[in-house]
Chain A
């Protein structure tokens, strides 16, 4: 049986993408475990290395959130959770966003203080195979090793995020990009120290912190607006999701429908659709016609799963009806 998102058994294509995403997230966790240990061992007192290490620690959040969320959303709706468990994705997304944002703010404060008070970071030596070696070389080597995999992970995850309409996966792909840029930044910082420029380290850390802060802000905002039931958007929050227009167009193509307008909210992977339908005068639909219309909508896209059809005399204001026409209050 294919994996499910709530009641939706995933189509073959998405099921494959999901299995691949799960494999990649486990791979990411394994990579991070190695990277975190390695960077910790050579961290020393470099600000940029510290920022990179904290960034690696935070990068654990999205994969863990994703793996937890795909387990939770597998449960079907029940009397206690009538809408299912899809929102766990939104909650995971919010947690990841807030963690990123907070850490970005802290690191900006930390490295700006270092710059203003002109802290000169000491980086000494280590003994390696009987040789005394400057620790900076090890730092740069360790950071260089953590660059290629995040680039690869990020690219694959971005594609899978689109396929699965999964914003946690998207946030994680973003995080991978921040990861390798962070690594490149700390190489520059440590190399600067090596050349006797004490400020490059704090400057690189500041640059890294700014990118973490902006990722955190973007993801936090996206997660909050989704939990606020903003209209459904594409996986990258770039534009309104086309499914809403598709549902309306399909319903209006039915012979008994005069006008249709729907509210679509993103539940995590799948959409909850409330479609308001105004029948032609004197053409009140039969129960069969309503059921057929519902099934037709669900066939449009696997993401349309929780759909409610509401026959009504005029469309509510939010979905193109006349002013002051609401759906949940008597207004005339």
Chain B
């Protein structure tokens, strides 16, 4: 009996690990799955040249260009939501947004509201180098890793 239980347990574990590999890490709230072939809800806040907003038109700048390409890869439509950093961070935490961009840097104060990506580009400023990041929903790790993998492949300068 003991041996039976042990081998069943081992098989169950192996199955979990094998089927898990494809989906590890997974999103507790299924963000990546929902966005694929759906809508990518992006919060944008003005911060030239990373994000530039114009009246009536879609946002432009380095980051919106990147996001459009990311969305294309996920076969998703982008829905832009402009706002201040604070309102966008709160919307991200509440699950109303999938991504917030606006030239955020590595030591952004919003990490309690969203998960910052690894820095994807360094930009020289008067004070030194700024390492730029984007904000994803907290704990949606499949989505976060997909975004980071995408950003790794870009040669941003």
What is A's interface to B at a CB cutoff of 8 Å? 45, 119-127, 132, 134, 136, 193-198
Contacts and interface: CB of A to CB of B under 8 A. Distances in A.
B27 interface: yes
A134 B24 contact: yes
B141 to A, nearest CB: 5
Contact of B118 (A119, A126, A193, A194): A126
A122 B141 contact: yes
A194 B139 contact: no
Closest 8 CB pairs of A and B: A120-B139, A122-B115, A196-B26, A194-B24, A132-B149, A120-B138, A125-B148, A198-B28
B25 A194 contact: yes
A243 B99 CA distance: 70
B141 A134 contact: yes
Q: Which of B25, B27, B117, B136 has the most CB of A within 10 A?
A: B25
B69 interface: no
11 contacts: A119-B139, A122-B139, A124-B118, A124-B141, A125-B145, A136-B141, A196-B25, A196-B26, A196-B28, A196-B142, A197-B28
Contacts of B117: 124
B144 interface: yes
Contacts of B26: 194-196
Interface size range on B against A: 20 to 34
B98 to A, nearest CB: 14
Nearest to A199: B28
B24 A136 contact: yes
Given A120-B138, A126-B118, A195-B20, A132 B148 contact: yes
Given A132-B148, A132-B149, A132-B152, A121 B24 contact: no
Interface string B18-61: 00100111111000000000000000000000000000000000
A193 B27 CA distance: 9
Contacts of A45: 115
B63 interface: no
Nearest to B93: A120
Contacts of B148: 124-125, 132
A186 B152 CA distance: 28
A71 B150 CA distance: 57
Nearest to A133: B145
Nearest to B151: A132
A134 to B, nearest CB: 5
Interface string B110-142: 000001011000000000000000001111111
A198 B149 CA distance: 22
B111 to A, nearest CB: 8
Contacts of B142: 196
Contacts of B140: 120, 122
A196 B27 CA distance: 5
B152 A127 contact: yes
